[in-house]
A = this chain, B = another copy of it.
């Protein structure tokens, strides 16, 4: 059709953006190229003008998502980080383990959204993922380092960051895993982990912000 160089670059970005959103939502294997291209506003034959293969697209999507992580952590985490208050870690936990964040698969942290898929990614994409994770842990470690109330005498700041982030991610993954089958259980996981983490981090607010419901597997809705 004839398209200016600048437009070409914008179109490629549109493809990357659409792919990133769909991958987060439904996993990499769950989305086809034709759907990505349709979502980006093109017919799917044009895909190969921008990428060598689907694998190449995946690698670029992960790399882009992880660069975003480097600059501002996840979107999810960026907002709490922007606020420069006393206990930034606590704000991050609160958002990360909120039902909003759990249910918003499109804009969630790429680290969390892709963690399940990462094991089966191509070599290049997995390397990008690992780089993003490492950078995030360093970010969190520096927050721990600067806030003396977060430090413990037994652990390095980075080790503490790893322990805290593992718990955040694990609770999010578990809560998402059962969210549509057993919502009370999903919420229970979120709330218990949130309470536990906030205390670990020295924050006592927000403990009763969300109503408590005990999951009862014997009488599902």
Hey, which bits of chain A sit against chain B, CB under 8 A?
A: 26-27, 29-30, 114-120, 123, 126-127, 129-131, 133-135, 154-155, 158-160, 162-163, 165-171, 173-174, 176-182, 185, 188-189, 192-193, 195-197, 199, 215, 217, 220
Contacts and interface: CB of A to CB of B under 8 A. Distances in A.
A105 to B, nearest CB: 8
A166 B163 contact: no
Contacts of A197: 163
B188 A162 contact: yes
A154 B203 CA distance: 13
Of A29, A155, A173, A182, most B-chain CB atoms within 10 Å: A173
A69 to B, nearest CB: 13
A182 B118 contact: no
A118 B89 CA distance: 29
